[in-house]
Structure 1
Amino acid sequence: MNPVTVITGGSRGIGAATARRLALAGHDIAFAYRRDHDAAAAVLADIEAAGRRGVAVPADTTDADAVTALFDAAAALGELTGLVNNAGVTSPIGPFVDLDPADLRRVVDVNLIGYVLCAQQAARRMGPGGAVVNVSSAAATLGSPNEYIHYAAVKAATDTFTVGLAKELAPRRIRVNAVAPGIIRTDIHTISGVPDRADRAAGRIPLGRAGEPDEVAAAIAWLLGPDASYTTGTVIRVSGGL
């Protein structure tokens, strides 16, 4: 039986890189995306080119009914074995005092509520050997002052959620871990209003460069796989030394 993995935010960045890597490793993939149909179609084509089955589901992961529909679509591929909680948003970079309440609510809804709703569906459907990977951020411990400390706070909550859920699901032999990327070269920086942030930040990253999505995807794939069978409740930092 092939692994069946759900990935949220699977049409771009880390999610797309993870979908492609897992397909090459033998996973059938159901991934959620919001609105970029062309990008989703390209990822789906690559999954199928790898010889695996895939389904792309337009879904808002903050909506419980949409999340249920996503996991129902995944069930058509077989028994669920993995979840990658990756869908995420930031908001315009700036001082904390200028934070728009609407941006705050959006960041909390997508980056935390969405993760909880998806993990809840996964926990209901997975059997022994299942694995969840939450995409957190190095911001959770750095705080992101003068940028988006509300985002950092939500990612710290993601880490706590990971540890607690890992302990709750361990008796059922379901593992829960997280990866904490640093500054990765994706288009999420455009949303924050600084599209060249990855290049600007290179000088303060100990390894001297931003990371690439596939470098994070590699850690996610390891956490989902059998080599990580004794790893749960762990946050793996993929941040170039930050």
Structure 2
Amino acid sequence: MGTNQRLSLFALVSAMTWPAAAQPANLNGPPNLVTNTVTLPPGWSLAANPLFHLRGTTLRDAVPDNTVAELFKQMPPGTVLLKFDNATQRFDRKTAFRHGRWSNPHETLAPGEGAFLFNPTRKPLAVAFTGNWWYGAVSIPVGLSLISSPGPGTIDFMPPAPPQTPPFGGPVVIYGEPGPPAVPPPVPFARSGVNFDPQEGDVVYTFDNASGRFHSHTFQNGAWDAPLVVGVGDACFVHTTKPRTLQSTVPRPV
């Protein structure tokens, strides 16, 4: 590995999550420390990969690789991966697993992205993603996009909480210490890791993998018209007129 590659890898490592026991990173240790398993029922599922994967036997010789050829080395024949291009707002050509390899082995599935996965078997298929938690960001353009959480937390779709004011305008007592009126503490930017920051008219489409059906959730008059949950390893479609960037705010371990 050349000097530039080593520097790039060290920069990558510094942005990843490493358990306290692995601090500082052991260059002779395994490159991927986390496993997240997603179970796909027969048919189509909408899924995400929450981990940034490194290819190699040790961290010292590892290189970043989130291609399907590396992530899904062995899959049932007929497995299909279908991604949505947020820039063109069109589906890419499907990538199929046949004869022991992918038709497009360079296709990727990285944190913040999502994809449809087709399970051709008649029973649930457990897919194990290995890698490292990533504290990144995902951009939501105007129009339709397919996203997932760019960090280890779920996406928080709750609107910002209104500021709290002292009752009757009187002084506030904090921890039993009297004093002048205090300013309420700021509301956390994200309560679950990534704040969606909903805007009027936003529509989020979740996919029920069990039933194979979409569910729409519209943000109107400051609230969602239906409960909305997108967990780790899940993805969703978003339609908006106000572009923004979602940034992971989960604290890194020290």
Q: Larger % of helix: which?
A: 1
Pair member with larger Rg: 2
Instruction: Name which structure has the greater RCO, CA cutoff 8 Å, separation 6+.
Output: 2
